Amino acid sequence: MIAFRSTVAALVLAALFLIPAVGHAQCSALLDHELRPLAGKTPESLCRHQGKVLLLVNVASKCGFTPQYEGLEAMHDRLAPRGFAVLGFPSNDFLGQEPGSEEQIQDFCKLTYGVTFPMYEKVRVKGDDATPLYRQLREATGEKPGWNFHKYLLNRRGEVVASFGSRTRPDDPALLARIEALLAEPVPAEPSPAAH
């Protein structure tokens, strides 16, 4: 009986250490970052979005492109059931157009545009101080945000496949066509535990 309990305990411990490693190994390098949800206290891994087609957008509340929130929310709402998500990253990098606290940004987005898509902590998106995620996006595409509402499109494997400037609206036919093509691709199979 003691040997049985020891074996069970060993299996439970092995599973506890193995499961996080397996999940971590499936995450792309681009998504392997921890950021706080907007106005949150506890960072969460962007790996939670692995397997979805993603549109990463640096956003600001006091910008001429701010009305794009409406289209981004509509896109997110319409396509989320098919495995799509918009991820918003507030930034004050361009002429101080996102000066508020994270709580103020959250209230503005929800009350003015009804934003429900995931929003993350305020980040730097340009220059040497850019957050690691945005440095990786710049390196992968050769493009850095020139202004607020720059968009990076990621496939289900977490690889950046396109970059769209601020003037590209959420209802732009070329953007929507790329998203639809990516949504039509099969969801990548998760590696079997034996592959690890």
pTM of the model: 0.85
pLDDT of amino acid 192: 53
pLDDT of amino acid 12: 38
Q: Is residue 23 part of a domain?
A: no
Q: Going along the chain, which residue ranges are E strands?
A: 34-35, 44-45, 53-59, 84-90, 151-154, 160-164
Q: Is residue 122 part of a domain?
A: yes
In contact, 168 and 151? CB cutoff 8 Å? yes
Q: Which positions are annotated as active-site residues?
A: 63
Residue pLDDT tens, the chain, 196 long: 555 454 444 443 344 333 343 344 489 999 999 999 999 999 999 999 999 999 999 999 999 999 999 999 999 999 999 999 999 999 999 999 999 999 999 999 999 999 999 999 999 999 999 999 999 999 999 999 999 999 999 999 999 999 999 999 999 999 999 999 999 998 887 755 554 4
Q: Is residue 5 part of a domain?
A: no
User: Domain with 140 in it: what CATH number?
Assistant: 3.40.30.10
Determine the structural domain holding residue 158 and report its residue range: 28-187
> 115: Cβ–Cβ under 8 A, 6 or more apart, which residues?
69, 72, 73, 88, 109
Q: Is residue 20 part of a domain?
A: no
pLDDT of amino acid 90: 98
pLDDT of amino acid 8: 43
Q: Is residue 12 part of a domain?
A: no
Number of domains in the chain: 1
